[in-house]
Structure 1
Amino acid sequence: MEITDCRVRPCSKEDEKLKAFATITLNHCFVVTDLKVIQGNKGLFVAMPSRRRKDGKFRDVAHPLDRETRAMIEQRVLDLYHQELERLGGQPPASSDDDPGEEHADLEQE
C-alpha cells in the first residue's frame, strides 16, 4: 500500500489540542478524510477519523490493521504538518474554516 497523496491543513487556534486536519489517498484510488493531528501528553499523534456512537463513545470509521501501516501514515502526515507550519512561518493560519474533505468533493460526484 502506498500513500499517493497527503494534504494537511493546520488549525487556526494555537491553544487547542487539535493542530490540523489531514486527508490521505491510498494507491490513487481510496481517500481517507478527517484524520486529525492532536497534541497529546507525549507529543503529536495522528487520530483516525471517528464518529460518536449513541452511548457517547467514539469509534474509528477507518483505521490501519497493523503498527507498520499506522506508523507509515503518522510519519507522512506529521512530516507534512511540520512542512506546512514551516511554510506558514511557524504560525497557524488566520482561519481554518474550510471543510477538511473539500478537496475531494468533485470525486464524490463521479
Structure 2
Amino acid sequence: MMNIKTEIKKTFKDNGKLKAVVNLIIDEGFIIKNVRLVNGAKGLFVSMPSGKIKDGSYVEICHPIKSNVREQIEKSVLEAYQAVITSTDSNNEKHE
C-alpha cells in the first residue's frame, strides 16, 4: 500500500462541477499536481491531470493502472476534501 498525502490547494463553493484542486504526494518522493475533484452525474470523482491534443480532445497525462491504486487515491482525496469542507463549515458557524 502506498503512502498518499493529499494537499487540498483550492476548493470551489459555487454550483459548478469543479469542487477542488489537489496535489498528491506519493511515498514522500513523487508529486502529482492539479488533480481535480469533480461532481459528475454519478457523484464526486477524481480526475487526473490531462492535456489537450491536436484533435481538441483531452488525454490524461498520468493515471493509475491498477484499480486498487485508483481506489486508494479516490479515498484519500475524498477524505481530505470532506475534512476541509467540515473544517470550513465549522469555522463559518463560529464567525456568524
Q: Give the TM interval when normalised to the shorter protein.
A: 0.7 to 0.9
Runs of at least 4 residues off by over 4 Å? none
Higher relative contact order (CA 8 A, sep 6+): 1
SS at match of 2:54: coil
The number of residue pairs the alignment matches comes to 91
CA deviation profile, 1:22-51 (whole Å, cap 9, x unmatched)? 111111111001100000011100001101
Over the residues paired in the alignment, what is the CA RMSD in angstroms? Answer: 1.7
Aligned sequence identity (%): 30
Task: State TM-score, norm by structure 1.
Answer: 0.76
- 1:25 touches 1:31 (CA, 8 Å); kept in 2? yes
Higher helix share: 2
Higher strand share: 2
Offset of residue 4 of structure 1: 4.0
CA deviation profile, 1:66-93 (whole Å, cap 9, x unmatched)? 1110000000001100110011107xxx
Separation in 2, partners of 1:13, 1:78: 15
Q: Which runs of 5+ in 1 are unaligned?
A: 91-110
Residue aligning to 1:32: 32
Q: Which runs of 5+ in 2 are unaligned?
A: 91-96
